[in-house]
Amino acid sequence: MTDEQLPAVTPEPGPVRRFLSDLILLLTEPVRFFQERFETYSLSRALVFGIVVNWFASGFEWLTRLVKNESLLDGMMKVKRQLESLPFWNHVPDTLWNQRAEPSSIPAWLAELSSIALSPFQSLLHFTLSGMSLFLGAWLLIRRRNKGEDSIEIPVFVRIAAFSSAPNLIASWLGFLPVGIGGFIGWIYSAALLVLGLKVRFRISGLRAVVLLVLPGMLGVLVVGCLFAGIFGIGLGLLAALFGTR
């Protein structure tokens, strides 16, 4: 067989090119990503993917505030000015906003660089807690593992949570929009990726995926409420025992 008859060999894309390709596929065709590319990522690779994406998002967010010459406190003040138009805001104490920070020789934008340094640790904690929360919901709602479904294990849900954080990169680019709009779009986009990831990987309906997403939070609120109710009841019992009539 001559060299002209040899089949052409397509070179494997490099890690950076593969990362960008998967990121674009995840943001534009999430169903296809969770069907074709999800299984190629181990837990460690998925965590690295999510951490890098969120690290870049933190950097873009910082650059946005730098260009706008504002700090996080400036953003809070914008929120405050918007809330002042609401009727109930007149009854909210204004002491928090009236506190003025002591002058510092370090610019606010420079001090906020620490958020970029801490971003990988925050992302790792977020992926872990989200994965555990999703695992709890799946353990309650997904009883049987059918052929082609992923196992109900915490690492699977941590990987889904890591990939679903990709819209944070888009939200950071939308920092020039009125305050809160970019973050809201990113939050909706991330929630949609979570639902699609659960739906594709476990072959469940969209409604069940939504319930699986919100159920752990509802249970958490219920548990905390019961805990406070129990403490309150014990406190009333103690007061009745101490000061009640015999």
pLDDT at 81 over 90: no
Domain boundaries, the chain: 13-89+105-216
Query: What percentage of the chain carries pLDDT values higher than 90?
Result: 31
- In this predicted model, what pLDDT tens digit does every residue of 145-156 receive, in sequence order? 555 566 888 999
pLDDT at 222 over 60: yes
The mean pLDDT value for 190-208 works out to 91
Query: Which residue in the block uniquely carries the two structure tokens 């319930």?
Result: 211
pLDDT band at residue 13, thresholds of 50, 70 and 90? confident
The answer to whether 134 touches 197, Cβ cutoff 8 Å, is: no
Task: Report which of residues 191 and 176 the model is more confident about.
Answer: 191
Identify the pLDDT of residue 23: 93
Identify the pLDDT of residue 149: 64
DSSP 21-80: HHHHHHHH-HHHIIIIIGGG--HHHHHHHHHHHHHHHHHHHHHHHHHHT--HHHHHHHHH
Residue 178, sorted as left (phi over 0), alpha (psi -120 to 50) or beta, turns out to be: beta
Identify the pLDDT of residue 140: 82
Query: What percentage of the chain carries pLDDT values higher than 70?
Result: 69
CA 61-217-120 angle, to 5 degrees, is 30
The mean pLDDT value for 186-193 works out to 91
Cα–Cα distance for residue pair 222/217, rounded to 1 Å: 9
Cα–Cα distance for residue pair 214/204, rounded to 1 Å: 15
pLDDT at 30 over 90: yes
Q: How many CB atoms lie within 10 A of CB 74?
A: 13
Residue 70 burial by Cβ neighbours in a 10 Å radius (0-12, 13-18, 19+): middle
- In this predicted model, what pLDDT tens digit does every residue of 50-63 receive, in sequence order? 999 999 998 888 77
- In this predicted model, what pLDDT tens digit does every residue of 95-111 receive, in sequence order? 554 545 454 445 555 66
pLDDT at 161 over 80: yes
Identify the pLDDT of residue 27: 93
Cα–Cα distance for residue pair 43/13, rounded to 1 Å: 21
Identify the pLDDT of residue 111: 62
